Amino acid sequence: MRVLAFAASNSRQSINRTLVGHAAARLRDDLLPGAEIDHLDLHDYEMPIYSIDRERKAAVPAPAHDFFARIGQADAILVSFAEHNGAATAAWKNVFDWMSRIEMKLWQGRPMVLLAASPGRRAGAGVLDSQEALAPHFGGVVRGRLGIGRWPEAWDDETRSLTRSEDAAALDLALSALGPLGHMQSPQLDPPNRQDIS
C-alpha cells in the first residue's frame, strides 16, 4: 500500500510536519507493516498565486501537475493541516487551487485521514471542519480525522513521541481506518470541470 503523506504548511519548523511524519511512521511500522510512504514537502511546490489570467497566459504550472500525479499514484492520503486564522494556509490553498484546474476532483477518489496539530485548545477544529466538508466535493473520501491541541504539552522532542496516551490511542484509531483498503485500483473520474474561478 502506498500512502502519500504531507503537511499543508510551508513552515520549516511546522508542528504539522512533525505530526504527519510521526503518523506515517506509526502506519508503516505498526499499523500497516510494509506500507510505502511517499513524503511531500510543500516547499517543492511553490507557484505564482493562482489567477485565471495567469492560467490563460501560461497554463497550469508543472509543480501542480506533479502534485496531482503523486496523488494519483497513491492508495491513500495522510495530511496534517496547519491552521491560519481558522483556515488552511495560503501556501496549501494555492497548490489546491492550481490542482483544481487540472481536475476538480483532485483527490481522485482516494481515502484520506485528516490531521491537525495546534498550540491552542481547539486543536485545529476550524481547518479540519472546513477540509472535511470540502473533501467529498473534490473527490476525497475522509476515513478519519484528528486534531491534537496544546502541542507543546502533547509532543516530546527527545523521544519523538506523543506524551498523552489518549492522543496516541486516538491517532492509531484514525489511522486504522486505512487498514482494510489494501491496494486499490484507480477510480474512474468524471470529465474535468474547468469552469472559470474568480
**Alpha-carbon span 35 to 49, nearest angstrom:** 34
Work out the average pLDDT over 7-22.
96
**Alpha-carbon span 198 to 185, nearest angstrom:** 34
Q: Read off the pLDDT of residues 36-45 as tens digits, 9 standing for 90 and up.
A: 999 999 999 9
pLDDT of residue 156: 97
**Alpha-carbon span 156 to 164, nearest angstrom:** 10
Residue 102 counted as domain residue = yes
Q: Which residues contact 54 (CB under 8 A, 6 or more apart)?
A: 48
Domain that holds residue 79: 2-181
Residue 188 predicted with pLDDT over 90: no
pLDDT of residue 180: 57
Work out the average pLDDT over 75-92.
95
Burial 6-16 (b: 16+ CB within 10 A, else e): bbbbbeeebbb
pLDDT of residue 197: 37
Residue 168 counted as domain residue = yes
Residue 193 counted as domain residue = no
Residue 135 counted as domain residue = yes
**Exposed, middle or buried by CB within 10 Å (0-12, 13-18, 19+), for 132?**
middle
Residue 113 predicted with pLDDT over 90: yes
Q: Read off the pLDDT of residues 152-165 as tens digits, 9 standing for 90 and up.
A: 999 999 999 999 99
Residue 43 counted as domain residue = yes
* Residue of 135, 120, 136, 45 lying closest to 85 (CA atoms): 120
Residue 192 counted as domain residue = no
Residue 166 predicted with pLDDT over 80: yes
User: What CATH number does residue 166 fall under?
Assistant: 3.40.50.360
What does the mean pLDDT of the chain come to? 91
pLDDT of residue 98: 98
pTM recorded for the entire structure: 0.89
Q: How many domains does the chain have?
A: 1
Residue 191 counted as domain residue = no
Q: Read off the pLDDT of residues 129-153 as tens digits, 9 standing for 90 and up.
A: 999 999 999 999 999 999 999 999 9
Residue 186 counted as domain residue = no
